[in-house]
Structure 1
Amino acid sequence: MGKRSPIAIFLAASALLATSTINPSVSNAGKEPMGGLKEWTSDQEVDEKSTLDKEAKKLRKKAKEEDICIPIGEGENCW
Structure 2
Amino acid sequence: MRRAILVEAGHWCAIPTCRQYPVDVDHIVDWVKVRRHEFDNLIALCPRSIVGLATGLCARHHPTRRLGGSVASVTPSSC
| Alignment TM class, shorter chain as reference | under 0.3
Q: TM-score, normalised by structure 1?
A: 0.18
Greater Cα radius of gyration, structure 1 or 2: 1
Bigger strand share: 2
Q: TM-score, normalised by structure 2?
A: 0.18
Bigger relative CO (Cα 8 Å, ≥ 6 apart): 2
Bigger helix share: 1
